[in-house]
Amino acid sequence: MRLLAVETATESCSAALLVEGEIICRAEVAPRRHAALILPMAQELLDEAGLTVAQLDLLAFGRGPGSFTGVRIAASVTQGIAFAADLPVMPVSTLTAIAQGALRTRGSKRVLAAIDARMGELYWSACECGPGGVMRACGEERLGAADTVPLPSGGGWCGAGSGWRGYGEILAERLGGRMQGTYPEIHPQARDVALLAAHAVESGVVPVPAEQVEPVYLRNRVTTAPPPS
C-alpha cells in the first residue's frame, strides 16, 4: 500500500508517506503556518520516495476534532489532491491519532486523549490498544468542560494531548487513581494517521470518495457570544 497522510488539526503540522509498511514523515510545530507548510511537506516526501501522487493508492487525513482552521486545511488539501488524482480517502480521528502516538512513544495502551477546545472545554476520547497494536476509541468522542469528562472504567490510564496542559489539575482531581501519567506534549502526527488508515483498510473499512470528505468539528460555535447590549 502507498498512502499519503496529513494532519493539521492542532499547532503541529505534519505529513507522512507509508510505502509497503515503511513510513517517512515531516513534522513541525508551527501555529498559523499550516497552509504554507503542508503541501511542500507532502511533496518532499513524494520526491524522497521517488513517487508521484498518481502512484498512490490512498490518501488519509486527520479529520478532527481540533482547531477549526486546522481541520479545514487538512480536509481541503486532501480533497483537492483526491479530486485531481482520483484517489479514495480515509478520514482518521485526530484524538485516536494522539492515542496512537502515546502508544508509539510511551507504550501507553489505555489513553485518554484530550485537545484544548478553548472556551473552557475539551475534545475528549478514551482509547485502548486493540489487535495489531492499533488504538481504537472505546466510545463516542465528546466536547465538554474538564470537570464533566466521562469517567473510564478501571485504571492504568494515561493522558495525552494539549488538553492535559491546560486542564491537568482539574482532570487529575476528577479521574483520581485511574491515572498512571500524563503527556501533554504529545501532538497528533500524520505518521499515526497513516498507520491507523492502513489498518482500517486492512480491517475492511471502505475509504470515501473525494466528494464525501468532511471534517469533524464536534462544535458549531467558534467564538464566545458577545455580551448583551
Of the candidates 11, 5, 26, the one whose C-alpha atom is nearest the C-alpha of residue 192 is: 5
Q: Would you say 49 and 78 are in contact if contact means Cβ atoms under 8 Å apart?
A: no
Domains of the chain: 2-93+188-212 (3.30.420.40), 94-183 (3.30.420.40)
CA proximity to 58, closest of 197, 191, 192: 197
Asked if 215 contacts 193 with a C-beta cutoff of 8 angstroms, the reply is no
Instruction: State the cell numbers at 101.
Output: 502516538
pLDDT tens-digit series, residues 153-211: 999 999 999 999 999 999 999 999 999 999 999 999 999 999 999 999 999 999 999 99
DSSP letter at 151?
P
Confidence of residue 54 (pLDDT cuts 50, 70, 90): very high
Q: Bridge-partner residues for 61, per DSSP?
A: 6, 91
Look up residue 96 and give its amino acid. Answer: T
Burial of 48 (0-12, 13-18, 19+ CB in 10 A): exposed
List, for residues 70-98, the tens digit of each pLDDT value: 999 999 999 999 999 999 999 999 999 99
d(CA 215, CA 84): 19
Per-position b or e across 13-43, b if 16+ CB within 10 A of its CB: bbbbbbbeeebebbbeeeeeebeebbeebbe
Round to whole Å and give the CA distance between 124 and 95.
7
